[in-house]
Amino acid sequence: MAAKKKAAIKKAAAKKASAKVPEKSHPLFDKILIANRGEIACRVIRTCRRLGIKTVAVYSEADADALHVREADEKVLIGPPPSTQSYLLVDKIVEACKKTGAQAVHPGYGFLSEKQEFQKALAKAGIVFIGPEAHAIHAMGDKIESKKLAQKAGVSTVPGWLHALKDADEAVKIAKQVGYPVMIKASAGGGGKGMRIAYNDAEAREGFSSATNEAKASFADDRVFIEKYVEEPRHIEIQLIADGRGNCLYLWERECSIQRRHQKVIEEAPSPFLDARTRKAMGEQAVALAKAVKYKSAGTVEFIVDKNRKFYFLEMNTRLQVEHPVTELITGLDLVELMIRVAAGEKLPLEQKDVKLNGWAVEARLYAEDPFRNFLPSTGRLVKYREPAPGPDVRVDTGVYEGGEISMFYDPMIAKLCSYGKTRIDAIERMRRALDEFYVRGVSHNVPFLAALMAHPRFRAGKLTTNFIAEEFKGGFTAAHLPPRDPAMLAAVAAVADRIKSVRLGSTEGSRVVMLNRQPMAVDVTGANPHFTVEAEGRQIVVQTDWSPGEPLMHATIDKQAVVVQVDAVGSGWRLINEGGQAEALVLTPRQADLYAKMPVKAAPDTSKFLLSPMPGLLASVAVSEGQDVKAGEALAVVEAMKMENVLRAVRDGTVKSLHAKAGDSLRVDQKIIEFA
């Protein structure tokens, strides 16, 4: 009897082990083409390289020197810079597959990833699409049709009008029926494009026009619909993986409530809001919905969750999500690998009970944009670029490199920075340090804004809604929103940097005056590398660092606290950047400080009489003419950049004196568009 029991246990263990091992009967692909660009293309290449699969990169003329092109085994030029003439051309991708012998295509996200026509064209050519079947893309990729299907499947959906709106008049009519506030949304695509909130008739009209135009430009599909806007909402999504054989698993959830203009900024896994019961219910509903369309591959079911944890189906993204790394960090799974194995015909190598939730992960999206100028896109060359050192608690997914370009033709993402910890606060604290370690020069970036988010008390408490940014940063982001910093600590850093530099030059004087943003602070520095003591503001500050002049980052322990400060030499002084804020520091002798205080400050030129282009882009339209009176808030012009329409409005009442640019002109930053009397 004991022998039989022992044999049964052995057999069960062998069966369990075999479930973890991919099937041998379905060999993986020899070569995969990635129909995408940037960080997601590099991400797919990374997994393919580990699996021993060769890769093919496609690229536009603007991306000839892009990182994904450099990292792939082969490359194929597919057209001019505009995505409509390159990355969105199905025939070009199919032709590239035939030319290189690629057996399968990974679409990444965006572009053709959710186009059923692309999947069908590949299937017709005998090429495997690493994603769901066309019927699932069609059923779930269309927001209107997917909501109808969800209703039939018994999934809770947001009240609304699930038909494409004909015109602005119908938008107003339906909005009144549903009840304000409403969300006007593009039926196709995602990424926050083609979405507007309306609280009244006027906003419904303008929202219909803007959402339609943006949807047409971004997705070549101008259909929009209306649904009730749930106030105080959270955006929580369930990650799925299915093998098309009835095996579908949910890999926990991601909280994506921190959004700006419906574009996700911070994501984390798991959600700080869900309890085990709600998590299970959402996961099971997501799986049921996926099974209803016989889903295969990775996909994400998005829900909106109210303050009582009641959740409503929003949409299903039939592709890999931008924020998939946080799921990988808490589960230990490689979603790209699972997608490839499923596409090759393998069963999932695990069951729901095998999906573990370990620790906490946070992702921050680093964009080339200026948060101090209403997050306007920034293009240009990355003169300096250094990432935080990777490790078990830090991950960087990027498609750029030092010397590369941030192009005006595509999304201005620089990188996705992920941090991991045993607890949520551990992950947040690691993210704060990693942001200090991310060194980018040549373009504006949103690191100061991300640093402010990580330090915000409400964010740290997990009290999130999709309105968080609008509520906490009313009137835009300013330096006042940055975490408070210790002036004496910054002065100590400047004094130590100057001391190390001076010792190298043969000078060892200790008494100095640090002009920190033109404010004097007497300091005295003693000690030698790597141990220093700084007397400042009546305090004794102990600094330990092995920093050398020319190094962009000063890793230091200051009064027993680990600190990272970015240190740039600027003229005879220093620019110090920490916690998203920066300070200009000059380290002077007392006599030099006296003379410096007497120097006049040059006033900035007065540009108040001009409407200046806040970004490089195309002047899509000008809404006023010379001699016209305008009121504060009135639309003056529309500048198109990064596939987004940016409406420029009057900040005060005035009269148009002259026009300095016309519709169709290409604009540079701060170029004059309108002059006022």
Distances (CA, A) of 456 to 262, 381, 473: 20, 31, 11
Sheet containing 610-612: give its strands across.
610-612, 672-676, 654-659, 629-630
422: left (phi over 0), alpha (psi -120 to 50) or beta: alpha
Strand 104-106 to 31-34 pairing: parallel
DSSP 518-548: TEEEEEEEEEETTEEEEEETTEEEEEEE---
Q: Which of 315, 328, 369, 535 is catalytic?
A: 315
To the query of whether residue 315 is one of the catalytic residues in this protein, the response is yes
Q: In this structure, are residues 236 and 253 in contact, taking their beta carbons and an 8 Å threshold? A: yes
Q: Provide the 3-class DSSP secondary structure of residue 403.
A: coil
Q: Provide the 3-class DSSP secondary structure of residue 611.
A: strand
Between CA 392 and CA 555 the distance in angstroms is: 19
Candidates 169, 171, 235; CA nearest to 197 is 171
Between CA 487 and CA 493 the distance in angstroms is: 10
Distances (CA, A) of 36 to 60, 202, 338, 451, 675: 10, 39, 19, 30, 42
Q: In this structure, are residues 327 and 251 in contact, taking their beta carbons and an 8 Å threshold? A: yes
Q: In this structure, are residues 418 and 325 in contact, taking their beta carbons and an 8 Å threshold? A: yes
Active site residues: 315
